Chain A
């Protein structure tokens, strides 16, 4: 067995997995708080990539990569907040299918809006990180990959601390568990929902930037496939559960990369989608998801 190839594939799967995990967190947080599968999340991811592209290519000054990332994440966060206020807020008490259909509509709208703004032809994403690759054994690992993996992990640790330790994070969990009771605590539900969309969208944008830098391209349907896979990752780990989204992201990244590397790249998508079917058949609540029993 070729050890170098295996190392290469493992690093690739960490890279892909980090991106899926970042995007899956957005799906899972929004689902946790308003029980909505936000199918427009992949498009927020795509817009995040476009924001970075526009800032990098059309400003007269050259900004450092970190600043570009932070501004893009901020813009995507605003976009997430507005999409909720415009499209989903009115549907909070409506049947869930109505909100779901609206999310699909929002997704199509944003794809076409991006096409209108930026054109349908793919743009070349700047490389941003040009430092020399580092060597692991005989394998060269690009700095883009190193950044993607480490920044994702740092962000995920920070998010976990935020949700576990801070007042706003606890309020977020309280709202996701019982909205009326949260209201009776004096928690401003609307603000917590906006915060959730902001964080989810910012992480999605970060995933989109890493994705488009890895493939050197940005285009209006960029969010569709990775968005779908991140959704599968969220379901795999147990939707509504942040740890589950991370686990799911890395698992789906691993399965996809290994299939591409050792079986056939044509089969990769089919196998990833069969994972969704298998999870829904055998453990619909996901690997870490649990059905909370209520006491009367």
Chain B
């Protein structure tokens, strides 16, 4: 479904991504793990065309994303929940969700999806007319995910969804991720919390300073000595 080939990205003079290859098949949860600064977010931003690559190909459903303007990607079925949630703080919860459905015109289906999001995140319904800036971190994460789902994505790119959340909320977020996947949405998950990410995902790639150093089925990665030592010891 999504195929990244020989990706190179520079931040000015810094070579941040050095020839990364990976693939996400339909229906899977694939995770990119690695420490801070390994280049995980950079890869997601490059897929979303927020950053320009210098080399390589990003193919989605056999189409080269290079030729599309960033705002067209949502219509193609790619939805990106950015690092730090990035909800619109001055818009209400409802307005944030409506912005998620910005590219759609099918009013009745949008209303259905809104109900679906509220079923999945009941807390958002309680806060429907509150401005998003007043929500707690966990609620903002739920809003960011709900907002992304409002575009009916084929693939969901999640950037550090558990960052800065209390352990109980982390459990909730990961169970929601599994749940979203089971209803048919493919997920590319970027996480620092390697242990949790490998437990929910089917496949994993380990990223270190812009290169993939290990990859495979998540079950196998969980038992890999090198991965264990570097990322799962805590």
Given the complex of chains A and B, what is the CA–CA distance between A292 and B132 in angstroms?
A: 11
Q: How far is the CB of A149 from chain B (nearest CB, A)?
A: 30
Q: How far is the CB of B39 from chain A (nearest CB, A)?
A: 18
Q: Considering residues A181, A184, A188, which has the most beta carbons from chain B within 10 angstroms of its beta carbon?
A: A184
Pairwise interchain contact B147-A185, C-beta atoms closer than 8 A: yes
Pairwise interchain contact B86-A174, C-beta atoms closer than 8 A: no
| Closest partner residue, chain A, to B49 (CB atom) | A183
Pairwise interchain contact B86-A186, C-beta atoms closer than 8 A: no
Pairwise interchain contact B87-A181, C-beta atoms closer than 8 A: yes
Interface size for B (C-beta < 8 A) is: 33
Pairwise interchain contact A177-B72, C-beta atoms closer than 8 A: no
Pairwise interchain contact B102-A184, C-beta atoms closer than 8 A: no
Which residues in B have their C-beta under 8 angstroms from that of A180? Answer: 50, 82, 86
| Closest partner residue, chain B, to A184 (CB atom) | B80
Given the complex of chains A and B, what is the CA–CA distance between A167 and B99 in angstroms?
A: 8
From A170, A177, A184, A189, give the contact of B89 (CB < 8 A). A177
Pairwise interchain contact B102-A185, C-beta atoms closer than 8 A: yes
Given the complex of chains A and B, what is the CA–CA distance between A170 and B75 in angstroms?
A: 19
From B74, B90, B95, B98, give the contact of A184 (CB < 8 A). B74
Cβ of A71 under 8 Å from chain B: no
Given the complex of chains A and B, what is the CA–CA distance between A211 and B134 in angstroms?
A: 42
**Chain B stretch 73-130: residues in CB contact (< 8 A) with chain A:** 73-75, 79-80, 82, 84, 86-91, 95, 98-100, 102-103
Which residues in B have their C-beta under 8 angstroms from that of A181? Answer: 82, 86-88
Pairwise interchain contact A183-B151, C-beta atoms closer than 8 A: no
Cβ of A173 under 8 Å from chain B: yes
Q: How far is the CB of A161 from chain B (nearest CB, A)?
A: 15
From B84, B89, B151, give the contact of A292 (CB < 8 A). B89
**Chain B stretch 52-87: residues in CB contact (< 8 A) with chain A:** 69-75, 79-80, 82, 84, 86-87
**Chain A stretch 244-296: residues in CB contact (< 8 A) with chain B:** 292-296
Pairwise interchain contact B140-A295, C-beta atoms closer than 8 A: yes
Which residues in A have their C-beta under 8 angstroms from that of B27? Answer: none
Which residues in A have their C-beta under 8 angstroms from that of B95? Answer: 170, 173
Which residues in A have their C-beta under 8 angstroms from that of B50? Answer: 180, 183-184
| Closest partner residue, chain B, to A180 (CB atom) | B50
Which residues in B have their C-beta under 8 angstroms from that of A183? Answer: 48, 50, 70-71
Cβ of A171 under 8 Å from chain B: yes
Cβ of A224 under 8 Å from chain B: no
Which residues in B have their C-beta under 8 angstroms from that of A228? Answer: none
Which residues in A have their C-beta under 8 angstroms from that of B79? Answer: 184
Cβ of A10 under 8 Å from chain B: no
Cβ of A178 under 8 Å from chain B: yes
From B48, B71, B90, B135, give the contact of A187 (CB < 8 A). B71
Pairwise interchain contact A185-B74, C-beta atoms closer than 8 A: yes
Which residues in B have their C-beta under 8 angstroms from that of A171? Answer: 99, 102
Q: Considering residues A173, A174, A187, A189, which has the most beta carbons from chain B within 10 angstroms of its beta carbon?
A: A174
| Closest partner residue, chain B, to A176 (CB atom) | B90
Q: How far is the CB of A180 from chain B (nearest CB, A)?
A: 6
Pairwise interchain contact A184-B48, C-beta atoms closer than 8 A: yes
Q: How far is the CB of A288 from chain B (nearest CB, A)?
A: 13
| Closest partner residue, chain A, to B72 (CB atom) | A186
Pairwise interchain contact A182-B99, C-beta atoms closer than 8 A: yes
Which residues in A have their C-beta under 8 angstroms from that of B102? Answer: 167, 171, 185-187
| Closest partner residue, chain A, to B144 (CB atom) | A181
Cβ of B137 under 8 Å from chain A: yes
Pairwise interchain contact B71-A186, C-beta atoms closer than 8 A: yes
Given the complex of chains A and B, what is the CA–CA distance between A295 and B138 in angstroms?
A: 11
Pairwise interchain contact B91-A185, C-beta atoms closer than 8 A: no
* Pairs across A and B, CB under 8 Å, 7 listed: A167-B98, A167-B102, A171-B102, A174-B88, A178-B88, A185-B74, A185-B103
Report which B residues bind A (CB closer than 8 A).
48, 50, 69-75, 79-80, 82, 84, 86-91, 95, 98-100, 102-103, 133, 135-137, 140, 147, 151, 164
Extra A-B contacts (17), CB below 8 Å, given A185-B99, A187-B71, A293-B133: A170-B99, A173-B95, A174-B88, A177-B90, A180-B86, A181-B88, A183-B50, A183-B71, A184-B79, A184-B82, A185-B74, A185-B102, A292-B90, A294-B133, A295-B136, A295-B137, A295-B140
Q: Which 3 A-B pairs have the closest CB atoms?
A: A186-B74, A186-B103, A181-B86
